[in-house]
Amino acid sequence: MWRYVARRMLYMIPILFGITLVTFLLFNVAGGDPAAQAAGRYATPERLAQIREQMGLDKPLLEQYLHMVKQLATFDFGRSWSSRQEISGLIWAGIGPSLSVTFPAFVLSLLITIPFSLLLAAKRNTAIDKGTMVTCLGLISISSVVYVLAGQYFLAYKLGWFPVSGWDPSWDGRWQYATLPILIMVSLSLGADILFFRTVFVEEMFQDYVRTARSKGLSNAKILLKHVLKNGMVPIITAVVLQIPFLITGSLLIESFFGIPGLGGLIYQAIQEADFPVIKAMVLIGAISYMVFQLISDVLYALVDPKIRLS
């Protein structure tokens, strides 16, 4: 396994260079002149030249690209164009608020959806199963903005159970602001996750090993928990583990509506202000996180299912 992990990490190097190259071309070539966008419509040629020099845009493209690779390797992405703060500091400051919302919502959603989906698979084609499927389809069909606005209006404004928006950086105080966003994020994920997990478990229910287990006299509970759940974890691991990078980068919609100073809010503000260094940094961090957790999911396959061999 260690040889497999080392080999996969070596494969990630050219992929990472490809991602950095595409990102550089999109922001520095295809996206137009960053200095002109930072300076504004009525900037003089002298001002444009000054901004290009300050941002290093007057250097050859190859030198600019190598500088971006160096920034990624050292996690030093320079300064934000809008706030003039160190981008690395902004990212570290935003990780805590983002994870305070996304991680509890992620865990709570899994604790609800996996057992409930397993129960639906055992009671497939019954009234509760069909009713839940219709409900899940309805939940998916509703726009995520509706969840946010309904939660803020009814639960926060009308009933006063939660603050409408805001944030407290202290560990004890942040939860009064994080609870409503967490509940909304769980609601957003219920429909899609239940449909997916139920489909996985139902497919496992028709496998030969389930019929063999029944012929040996095993109870339905043992078959579900010991066999169906374990064998259904391979596709579930793929779906679950690949969601983790998005927990780190935060939820743009939730954080922007609730005024949470996380990475999602940082991305939203950077897009609004055309702050390309911040956007480039977040794109690269998201890509690296995705590759790392893709590797982790492959390793977990072998731990969950011994029939899978890493090669």
Q: What is the dihedral of CA 10, 15, 21, 27, to 10 degrees?
A: -130
Q: How far apart are CA 192 and CA 136, in angstroms?
A: 7
Mean pLDDT, rounded, of the chain: 82
For the segment 77-88, the average pLDDT, to the nearest whole number, is 81
Asked if pLDDT for residue 96 goes beyond 80, the answer is yes
The string of pLDDT tens digits covering residues 207-259 is 887 788 778 877 777 878 777 887 787 788 878 887 887 787 778 888 888 88
State residue 30's pLDDT score.
58
For the segment 136-162, the average pLDDT, to the nearest whole number, is 89
> Residues of the chain with pLDDT > 70: what percent?
91
pLDDT band at 182 (very low <50, low <70, confident <90, very high): very high
List the domains of the chain with CATH numbers.
2-74 (no CATH), 90-304 (1.10.3720.10)
State residue 109's pLDDT score.
92
For the segment 40-46, the average pLDDT, to the nearest whole number, is 70
